[in-house]
Amino acid sequence: MKIIDLSSEHESLYFNCLEDWSEEMKESGDHKCRWYGRMQNQGLKVKLALDDNGKVGGMIQFYPSEYSNIEGRGLYFVSCIWVHGYKEGRGNFQKKGMGSALLAAAEKSAMESGAYGIAAWGISLPFWMKASWYRKHGYQKTDKNGMAVLLWKKFKNDAVPPKWIKQKKAPSKSAGKVTVTAFIHGGCPAQNIVFERAKRAAEEFGDKVEFVKIDTSDRETFLEWGILDALFIDGKSINTGPPPKYEKLFKIIARKVKKI
């Protein structure tokens, strides 16, 4: 196994979260590419894990907490770590130590950059991005927001534990129309799929539906709302993990339109 920095050779693969084989991933648009272009100037680091045959099987992205959705001083934040686990496409690379190697490489890089510590997030339930996995690697819980657990590992004694930046307000409904409000920052292809599906579904209803895009890649916009990626229909939050099917979103909007 080998850990390398992202280069132009693998950028397209990275933009698709290693799922370049997936038809669903093609729905995510170019948001990740544009996000990457912006974040390169804000300290974004991306590393890939290669197996003994040189095939990419895992990835991790992390960047200064000042550009993340947490409150933290002098920290790096792991927004995503993913080892490809599907039989389709690249095949299953999990249970081979790639995740641990990627996390160790990120910690080393953050420490060499002079960071006070490194934070990450996980889910409290036993599926993707498990919080328990980070705890096994020496991380401690500092905050929780629903099922999203914030954890960290400090490098310096005077490091301050991070906290989630939580939702500050919610979008409202427009009079006489169904309002679809989509928050997007671009860094997560799964959430980019949600945005694209919601936009496409909303457009099917013409002027009966107002589609509102809120670009949280703009730091001030994110801090105003305290929401990174989300979807609201008439002010009601829609679960976006995993991304709801286009047909489901269409039906939700259609029911709302009938009530106008």
Is pLDDT of 164 > 80? yes
pTM score of the predicted model: 0.95
| CATH number (domain holding residue 229) | 3.40.30.10
Task: Tell me which of 142, 164, 186 is where a domain ends.
Answer: 164
Residue 170 domain flag: no
Report d(CA 260, CA 31) in Å as an integer: 33
Same domain, residue pair 33 and 156: yes
Same domain, residue pair 150 and 53: yes
Residue 242 domain flag: yes
Specify the pLDDT at position 29: 97
Task: Tell me which of 114, 138, 164 is where a domain ends.
Answer: 164
- 41 Cβ partners below 8 Å, 6+ apart? none
Same domain, residue pair 142 and 87: yes
Residue 173 domain flag: no
Q: How many domains does the chain have?
A: 2
Q: For residues 204 and 257, is the Cβ–Cβ distance under 8 A?
A: no
Query: 205, 162, 8, 10: which is closest to 75 by C-alpha?
Result: 162
Q: What is the pLDDT of residues 29-49, one digit of tens each?
A: 999 999 999 999 999 999 999
Q: For residues 120 and 78, is the Cβ–Cβ distance under 8 A?
A: yes
Specify the pLDDT at position 125: 83
Is pLDDT of 126 > 90? no
Is pLDDT of 128 > 80? no
Q: For residues 7 and 107, is the Cβ–Cβ distance under 8 A?
A: no
Is pLDDT of 235 > 90? yes
Report d(CA 163, CA 150) in Å as an integer: 7
What angle (nearest 5°) sits at the alpha carbon of residue 64, between those of residues 61 and 66? 130
| CATH number (domain holding residue 70) | 3.40.630.30
Is pLDDT of 127 > 80? no
Same domain, residue pair 155 and 215: no
Specify the pLDDT at position 129: 83
Report d(CA 209, CA 138) in Å as an integer: 48
Same domain, residue pair 57 and 134: yes
Pairing relation of β-strands 75-83 and 117-123? parallel
Task: Tell me which of 124, 140, 164 is where a domain ends.
Answer: 164
Q: What is the pLDDT of residues 176-212, one digit of tens each?
A: 999 999 999 999 999 999 999 999 999 999 999 999 9
Report d(CA 111, CA 118) in Å as an integer: 8
Which H or E element spans position 248? helix 246-258
Query: 72, 51, 50: which is closest to 62 by C-alpha?
Result: 72
Q: Domain residues for 89?
A: 2-164
